Copies of this chain bind each other. A is one copy, B any other.
Amino acid sequence: MALIVQKYGGTSMGSPERIKNVARRVARFQAQGHQVVVVVSAISGETNRLIALSKEIQANPDPRELDVVISTGEQVTIGLLSMALKDIGVPARSYTGAQVRITTDSAFTKARILAIDEAAIRADLNAGRVVVVAGFQGVDEEGNITTLGRGGSDTTGVALAAALNADECQIYTDVDGVYTTDPRVEPEARKLDTITFEEMLEMASLGSKVLQIRSVEFAGKYKVKLRVLSSFQEEGEGTLITVEEDKKMEQPIISGIAFNRDEAKLTLLGVPDRPGTAYTILGAIADANIDVDMIIQNVSQAGTTDFSFTLNRSEFARAKEILEAVKTSLGAREVVGDTKICKVSAVGVGMRSHPGVASKMFKALAEDGINIQMISTSEIKISVVIDEKYLELAVRVLHKAFGLEQG
């Protein structure tokens, strides 16, 4: 007998029929003798509907009251799933975040979980009930309703698994696991049976949006066994996300090819090379709430250097404007940029012990005439910025170069 936390997203809750399907799946796990805690998201589209409604009332909705409104989405689905379970004879009980009680800080719309009181849940499990918990929400110390930010239901699932010391946290999505790359780009992409937390973090942040990145960090920190599965397939083991030590001795050099289409790059040319310039540039960007991805600065020549970064394409115009002002105050030469770029990355913990991965990557790209505009590397990742028109070609070339094909 195991204790399993299962998390179902909004698509799995998308219709009465789908909710009943989830109930049947949960019932099968319970029939196998497992204790099951289910965490659910709102019906797909509901949170956006409630946000839009709030914005009709107040252009910039009050964060405390917005959380009161949008937390209702998950309150509806916990009730509905509990009904569906009882309808097929499975004892069940729903819990809002406040009822659990999931205590968070008071950062409305982006709260962090501080503590979970698991006593009531454990009593229900021991009484043979399935426990259905609203994802995405909690309460602060004063009892104000809070929400955890987009994708917060994954975090609720992992946090509950940690608090209950669950044997596994299963995240059901509309894909059946984590792939070596996007199958729509490379049909030969292969589902990974396991991936390390670190690799998953690199894959997630690079556009393989299977899991909310915060929940992966959380799972890694608390050593929660995390599994990604499809809610639309009856069979399949999905992908298990593990701590590195669990991996086989003979691991592949890299695990997957990630990419991001929505990138743009900006460069400030001829920046005087003195302490504080990086802060001056990025501080101004951060003050405007613009997220920066890759940051590159090479050694200076003749007392000046070039400072580049990539960012989401939608922020390009705003960031460029800010850089123009920074240019003047820093006495830099010129601002240049390009929105027709993309980023492609090879990710794998194996590359730590395999020198030459980077050169293999650059060689493969060169053989197909793909010019590399920028390079950034970490312990387990090599990213290149290239012309966006080469994205699909680069993914397929690298997928093949590192032997990631099926079979």
Contact = CB atoms under 8 A, between A and B. Distances in A.
| Secondary structure dominating the interface of A | helix
Contacts of A98: 98
Given A16-B53, A143-B99, A69 B76 contact: yes
Interface in A55-90: 56-59, 61-62, 64-69, 71-72, 75-76, 78-80, 82-84, 86-87
A94 B68 contact: yes
B94 A82 contact: no
A54 B80 contact: yes
Contact of A54 (B53, B62, B75, B79): B79
A387 to B, nearest CB: 46
A20 B59 CA distance: 13
A58 B76 contact: no
Interface string A77-118: 011101110110000011010110000000000000000000
B68 A84 contact: no
B75 A75 contact: yes
Given A65-B94, A68-B94, A76 B50 contact: yes
A226 interface: no
Contacts of A68: 75, 78-79, 82, 94, 96
Contacts of A56: 16
A96 B58 CA distance: 20
A87 B16 contact: no
Taking the full assembly, how many copies of this chain does it contain?
Answer: 2
B79 A75 contact: no
Given A72-B76, A75-B69, A94-B65, A83 B57 contact: yes
A69 B65 contact: no
A19 interface: yes
A124 to B, nearest CB: 12
Given A16-B53, A20-B57, A53-B16, A79 B69 contact: yes
Contact of A87 (B20, B58, B93): B58
A212 B221 CA distance: 54
Contacts of A65: 78-80, 82-83, 86, 94
A69 B75 CA distance: 6
Nearest to A19: B57
Nearest to A71: B75
B54 A66 contact: no
A38 to B, nearest CB: 13
A98 to B, nearest CB: 7
B83 A61 contact: yes
Nearest to A61: B83
Contacts of A53: 16, 76, 80
Nearest to A78: B68
B58 A83 contact: yes
Given A16-B57, A57-B16, A79 B99 contact: no
Given A72-B72, A75-B69, A83 B96 contact: no
Contacts of A78: 65, 68
A42 B161 CA distance: 35
Contacts of A75: 68-69, 71-72, 75
Interface of A: 16, 19-20, 50, 53-54, 56-59, 61-62, 64-69, 71-72, 75-76, 78-80, 82-84, 86-87, 93-94, 96, 98-99, 143, 145
Q: Which 4 A-B pairs have the closest CB atoms?
A: A69-B79, A72-B72, A68-B79, A16-B56
Given A57-B80, A69-B80, 10 more contacts: A54-B80, A54-B83, A59-B87, A62-B82, A62-B83, A62-B86, A65-B83, A67-B79, A69-B76, A99-B143
12 contacts: A53-B80, A54-B83, A57-B84, A58-B87, A62-B86, A64-B93, A64-B94, A65-B80, A65-B86, A68-B79, A72-B72, A72-B76
